[in-house]
Amino acid sequence: MPTKKIASDIILAAIAGLESQKAQIDAQIAELRRIVSSRTAVAAVAPVPHKGARRKMSAVARARIAEAQRKRWAASRKPQAAPEAAKPKRKLSAAGRKAIAAAKKRWAAKRAEAAK
């Protein structure tokens, strides 16, 4: 039975190939871990960077800004003008009501005629 011998040879070759790939992958993982550990060691040792010198503002400039803010607050707190009084509700005149009633009668008659 030569097929079993060939099949086992192929399987053994596949195992050897996979083991070599595994060794390469393990080496790459170890290299990456070394890089990460060296970076964290450097980051832990590195001092916190200073923000740098802050810009100075003169007392006059601060006073101008404060005064402008006070004006804005005063304007927003100022009582608002009362809104215009609402217009009174419009009423329909007696003549208008009669005209509408007459139109409704005409429409009803037309609908009744169309229904016949």
Kindly report, residue by residue over 34-72, the tens digit of the pLDDT: 988 887 765 555 666 677 788 899 999 999 999 999 999
| Mean of pLDDT over the chain | 87
What's the residue count for the chain? 116
Q: Is the pLDDT of residue 79 over 90?
A: no
pTM of the model: 0.32
Mean pLDDT for 66-88 is 87
Q: Is the pLDDT of residue 1 over 60?
A: no
Q: Is the pLDDT of residue 6 over 80?
A: no
Q: Rounded distance, CA 18 to CA 94, Å?
A: 102
Phi and psi, residue 31, nearest 5°:
-65, -45
Lowest-confidence pick of 9-18, 40-49, 78-87:
40-49
Q: Rounded distance, CA 75 to CA 71, Å?
A: 6
Q: What is the DSSP letter of 49?
A: P
